[in-house]
Structure 1
Amino acid sequence: MTEAEWLACVNPETMLDFLEGHCDLIESDDPAVWPVGRKLRLFAVGCCRHVGHLLTDPLSYHALEVTERYVDGFVTRDERVNAALAAGQATNELEGVDDGRYQAATAAYRTLDDIVGNFTDVVEAVDYAACVVARPASLAPDRNEGDYDSRRYNEAKRSEQSHQASLLRDIFNPFRPVTFLPEWRTSTVLALAAQMYESRDFSAMPILADALQDAGCTDEAILTHCRGPGPHVRGCFCVDAILGKS
């Protein structure tokens, strides 16, 4: 895959296949020493949060919050396992429900289950997240119960996958690695990045670009990304670089 193909790709599975072949993976359950695993989990969380309106069970939504805390080292493995078991039970109780809630719960559960950096399982998790919007959109009132319109299904799924591809570009930057100079980490830059990471509100990214430029940053990959349309989520390669997160 070339850089132009990466920037134009709308299929997250294709992009994940490329990353799998070009990332240096470390076999460990500790997210602190498996940077790719951390970013993969945050990518899956970002996909799930985009369809969070269908995460009606609090245990499913809690799974996303536990995942985010786990990758930053604030949750033990036992706590993660217990939360995953609870989310799995919530998923089982929704099995057979045909309005997207089952797929949403399954996607949330898979972000927290034993997929520490496993590309195959992340693909499955984000595929479920894409199906969340595809299944309800495909249901037609003039069809029998259980029938669906495959064209509507595929169109809705492709639309969600395109958003997921944009999230991957926010989190992974395989063609233009960022070298972040210490002098760019002014108090303003650090405060902006930390506030956005904690709140998950990245609307101040253009302001962050201005603060970085004031600090002497001339890296076009960083400045362009901060001033771009987004979307941005936890794991954003610029915010991670500022905060020293792998």
Structure 2
Amino acid sequence: MTEVEWLAGQSKAMVTYARSVATMRQRRLLACGYCRLHWDALPDDRLKRFVVHIEKYADGAGSSLVRAYTLYDVVKVPAVRNALPPGLLPVLKSAQASNGDSIDNSFPLWSDAPAQVALLRDIFGNPFHPTPFSPEWRTATAVALASQMYESRDFGAMPILADALQDAGCDNTDVLNHCREPGVHVRGCWVVDLVLDKG
């Protein structure tokens, strides 16, 4: 994997690279992020609750995994399975996959390559340019904005977060541009994670 391939959005190379560095939290939030992009197309409310529980589990709520697995069983119902949008089933499977599952199940190459590229960029940024993040940039305002977006899953205030970070002394163009440029943002967004100090 090269930086040129990453910046060009070559999905297969990006997935291969991300597989080698992603934490299980990032893998799960990547899959949940895709489900969030297709929220209204999920054919059963139990699948929506499944995604919510996987997000909670990714952030350390251990009891949520058992609930999620129970809800996931709804994909065995033929009417639900047949109503899933094309390509969504492997993503749902990856959301609940464990370290013991095959890499193809826990981190598949999606049929929707543009969405996967957009979400990989949101979660991993540019891995060839690690971003030093000063603790001084974690002002009360920046943390409050990031927390509110993380909890609500509404990332419309990203440009305001950029202003707050800049007011705190942040001059990193990668951070500021990621907040201000159009694009997809989900839980696991690398900038929001840095502000909230999520490892």
With structure 1 as the length reference, what TM-score do the two structures score? Answer: 0.72
User: 2:116 aligned with 1:168, yes or no?
Assistant: no
2:132 equivalent among 164, 179, 183: 179
Q: How does 1:5-16 map to 2 (within 5 A)?
A: 5-11=5-11, 13-16=12-15
Q: How does 1:1-246 map to 2 (within 5 A)?
A: 1-11=1-11, 13-21=12-20, 23=21, 36-76=23-63, 79-88=64-73, 90-94=74-78, 98-101=82-85, 104=88, 107-114=91-98, 119-124=103-108, 127=110, 130=111, 160-173=112-125, 174-246=127-199
Cα distance change on mapping 1:20 and 1:100 into 2, 3 Å: closer
Work out whether residues 98 and 106 of structure 2, in 8 Å CA contact, stay in contact via their aligned partners in 1.
Answer: no
Cα distance change on mapping 1:87 and 1:213 into 2, 3 Å: same
C-alpha separation in 2, matches of 1:161 and 1:68: 22
Work out whether residues 170 and 232 of structure 1, in 8 Å CA contact, stay in contact via their aligned partners in 2.
Answer: yes
Matched AA of 2:3:
E
Work out whether residues 97 and 106 of structure 2, in 8 Å CA contact, stay in contact via their aligned partners in 1.
Answer: no
Deviation at 1:161, TM superposition (A): 1.6
Deviation at 1:100, TM superposition (A): 3.1
Q: Which runs of 5+ in 2 are unaligned?
A: none
1:141 paired residue number? none
Work out whether residues 55 and 105 of structure 1, in 8 Å CA contact, stay in contact via their aligned partners in 2.
Answer: no
Identity %: 40
- Give the number of aligned pairs: 198
1:118-174: CA deviations, max 9, x gaps?
6432333x63xx4xxxxxxxxxxxxxxxxxxxxxxxxxxxxx321221110010131
Q: Which has the larger radius of gyration?
A: 1
C-alpha separation in 2, matches of 1:206 and 1:243: 16
C-alpha separation in 1, matches of 2:157 and 2:121: 19
Matched AA of 2:77:
E
C-alpha separation in 2, matches of 1:102 and 1:169: 23
C-alpha separation in 1, matches of 2:79 and 2:90: 9
Work out whether residues 162 and 176 of structure 2, in 8 Å CA contact, stay in contact via their aligned partners in 1.
Answer: yes
Matched AA of 1:18:
Y
1:171-204: CA deviations, max 9, x gaps?
0131121221111111110111001101111111
1:18-39: CA deviations, max 9, x gaps?
1234x2xxxxxxxxxxx71111
Matched AA of 1:15:
M
